[in-house]
Structure formats: C-alpha cells, structure tokens
Amino acid sequence: LRPLSILSKQDQNLQVLLAPAIAMTPTLEEWGRSVNTAMIAGVTVGLLVIIAAICVAGIMFIRRRNPSSFSKENSEAQIVDEGGRCIEAGVQQSFKSKPKVEAREPVKTEDEGTKLSLRQLERYITKTNDVPDGFKDEYKKLPKPGIGECKVGSIPENRTKNRFGNIKPFDANRVLLDADDMSQSDYVNASYITGYKDVQRHYIATQGFTTLN
C-alpha cells in the first residue's frame, strides 16, 4: 500500500495509510455456479406446479366418476314415519332408472288410493319402484281425458272419413249428417262446440275430416 500524507496545520507529521478500493469482479466459475443454481430452482418450481396440477385433475376426474363417494355425507336425510320413528333415507342424486328387482311386497294402488301424506311418500315410491313396471302400470290406470268415447269414429266404414287415425270426434257431441238412405252413414269428423253464454251447439269444429266420397 502506498502511504499518503495528509498534512494539517495541527499535526504536520501525522501520516494516514489509505488503500484504494479494489473492484471485486466475479470469476467465470462463480458466475456459472450462480446460473446453475437459478436453473435448478426454476426447474424444481416448474415440476412442483405440474405435479400439483396433475393431482387436482386426478381428484376432479375421480369425483366425476364416483360422485356418490364424495357426497355421501350430504345425501342422507331423516324422515319421521307415522309411528314417530326416524328413518335414515338416502336422497337420490339423479333420476336414472334402477334395474328391475323382485318386489318385496305387492303394491295395492286400488286399496291405498291416490291420496298420500308426506310421511308416506318415500315409502310408497320405494315400494312402487321395486315392482317391475310399477309406475307404468299405475299410469295406465289413470282415466283418459275427454267427455266420452269415440266408438262411432272407429267403426270400419267410418275410418276412411278420418284423415288422421288418432283424431276422432266424441260420440256425445259429434255432428250428425242427414243421410238420404240407410246405406249412407251420418258420420263426419266434426264436433259441436258451446258458444258464448253457454249456447249449445253454437259452433262446429273439425280437424282432419274427408269428404263423403
């Protein structure tokens, strides 16, 4: 080190040694080690992100394949029957039809009627679902809408007068034609409709009729 003399008025013999600042320039080897450390850290973080994404995707896939295993705790409810007892009942997550199984006991819809209390509803649905075609047979027992039958329109000689086979007038309010002789039918695919202020046979409605010839 080169001594530098700083002279002052107080002490001209005081000597102070000063060393110039030495610039610390990193070597090539040190620079390479720092670059390698940064690359290793970046690759590690990237791998962790990829692994986390794969885990999340796997969990979502399993939930979609087996939703019941993840919602079992939230799919149970308590229902109180007529005797005051609590029944653990599972809530259906979908309306997919179940495979037909042998009925545990017969369903007697005629005796039980159609009125059910809320407490009886789940038991009734379970019983009917256990019977093959239980709901289908019950639906067939419902009365058909309308005011009567359509027997006249279904007679073989009158079927050709219906443009559509499933559209026929009711026998109670169908239009009767004046036939010239007994060989001709009084049938036409038309019906009387009540008019304003309940005026009977005020209008004639028809759909899909054909001519007499």
Which candidate, 116, 119, 115, places its Cα nearest to that of 79? 119
pLDDT of residue 156: 87
In a domain, 22, yes or no: no
Residue 86 above 60 pLDDT? no
pLDDT of residue 93: 45
* Burial bucket for residue 168 (CB in 10 Å: 0-12, 13-18, 19+): buried
Given pLDDT bands bounded at 50, 70 and 90, which one contains residue 36? Answer: confident
> How many structural domains compose the chain?
2
3-state SS of 178-199 is CCCCCCCCCEEEEEEECCHHHC
Residue 162 above 70 pLDDT? yes
In a domain, 135, yes or no: yes
**Which of 88, 112, 140 delimits the end of a domain?**
140
Average pLDDT value over all residues in the chain: 71
Task: Report the pLDDT averaged over residues 199-205.
Answer: 85
**Which of 116, 140, 164 delimits the end of a domain?**
140
User: Regarding predicted confidence, which is higher, 182 or 189?
Assistant: 189
Regarding whether 136 and 80 lie in a shared domain, the answer is yes
In a domain, 46, yes or no: no
Reported as a single tens digit per residue, the pLDDT across 90-100 is: 444 444 455 55
**Which of 140, 161, 183 delimits the end of a domain?**
140
Regarding whether 156 and 136 lie in a shared domain, the answer is no
**162 contacts: CB under 8 Å, gap ≥ 6:** 153, 168, 189, 208, 209, 210
Give percent above pLDDT 90 in the chain.
2
Given pLDDT bands bounded at 50, 70 and 90, which one contains residue 81? Answer: low
In a domain, 113, yes or no: yes
In a domain, 184, yes or no: yes
In a domain, 69, yes or no: no
In a domain, 134, yes or no: yes
Structural domain containing residue 122: 76-140
Given pLDDT bands bounded at 50, 70 and 90, which one contains residue 72? Answer: very low
Residue 50 above 90 pLDDT? yes
Question: Helix, strand, or coil here: 204?
Answer: strand
Regarding whether 122 and 163 lie in a shared domain, the answer is no
Residue 76 tokens read as 């149970």
pLDDT of residue 1: 44
Residue 154 tokens read as 């279904």
In a domain, 64, yes or no: no
